[in-house]
Amino acid sequence: MAFVKNTLSNLPVTSGNVFFVDAGASRAADGNRGQDPAVPLATIDAAIARCTANNGDMIVVMPGHTESPTAAITMDVAGVWVYGLGWGNDRPTVTSSNATNFVLMSAASCRISNIVFVLGVATSTACVNVTAAGCIVEEIETKIHATSQFTNHIMVGAVEDVIIRNNRLLSLITASSNSGIYLDGCDQLQVYGNEIMGHFDIAAIDNVTGTDEALLAVVKRNLVRNISDSGMAIDMDDAATGLLADNLWAVSVDFEVGFDPGDLFCLENYLVDLVNITGKIIPTAAAAS
């Protein structure tokens, strides 16, 4: 019982039910109730099925947990939080052979935190695809694979009030993803604190390719390195609005070609296009005095 007590005492406070997922536990099975970490569920999807909508339910994915689903993990119960425990190589890891979505957030106000994602197929459309309002994607990591690639690491559809924060999105440096974060008409969006590094053919943050503009978006404190010799750091729709502040961009294309903020107001964004030089503020035109 000491193990249960210590585990619960370190969790965020919630008024809902708490379910545990740990495929490495000797008694793990998807037929369990899953509310005792000693008798956990074996998969995240099974835990989601036990949750109640808008109840504050939390799914605690234990350190060292691994699973390899063949279909998307579908977060289709509103208000559920999938919360990974652990750090470094002990974080929960999902290796998927699904070529469409690893995680589909299709119910409102869901949240996913601190999960590592590894490709098990040649390409996958998205690691996390957000299609419902009020969702949060935080502290996930997409691992570099020797040959495989996410087309887009995180996708956000035409839904409002989504937060994408503190994620680490890594792509191959020779083969290409299209984008790190792909935005489609998602208003009141917040994208901050993300590290996006690798080869992105279109843009590390893309709000242009076949998409609707993001309105009242806040994009701040992101660190981006796009190695592609044609891809951009950020490419926002010409009608996109909001704030672009305190971002650091590094590209391999010519200086101003790699940056298009649309109609977002820009505050202290730095861009560099060569090694061994310091970045400079972009856009280069200063506000009128």
User: Average pLDDT, stretch 206-232?
Assistant: 93
User: Average pLDDT, stretch 200-225?
Assistant: 94
Q: Map out the domains of the chain with their CATH numbers.
A: 2-281 (2.160.20.10)
CA distance 58 to 279: 42
Please tell me whether residue 205 adopts helix, strand or coil conformation. Answer: strand
Buried b (16+ CB within 10 A) or exposed e, 100-132: ebbbbbbbbbbbbbbbbbbbbbeebbbbbbbbb
Structure confidence at residue 280 (pLDDT) = 92
Q: Which of 194, 190, 103 is nearest to 150 (CA)?
A: 103
CA distance 251 to 258: 6
pLDDT tens per residue, range 137-163: 999 999 988 777 899 999 999 999 999
Q: Which of 22, 40, 18, 45 is nearest to 101 (CA)?
A: 45
pLDDT tens per residue, range 154-197: 999 999 999 999 999 999 888 789 999 999 989 999 999 999 99
Greater confidence (147 vs 280) lies with 280
Structure confidence at residue 4 (pLDDT) = 43
CA distance 11 to 39: 18
Tokens of 77: 């119960």
8 pLDDT above the threshold of 90: no
Structure confidence at residue 9 (pLDDT) = 59
User: Average pLDDT, stretch 67-81?
Assistant: 97
* Residues facing 177 on adjacent strands: 200
Which pTM does this prediction carry? 0.94
137 alpha carbon, distance to own chain's centre: 5
2 pLDDT above the threshold of 70: no
Kindly report the average pLDDT of the chain as a whole number. 92
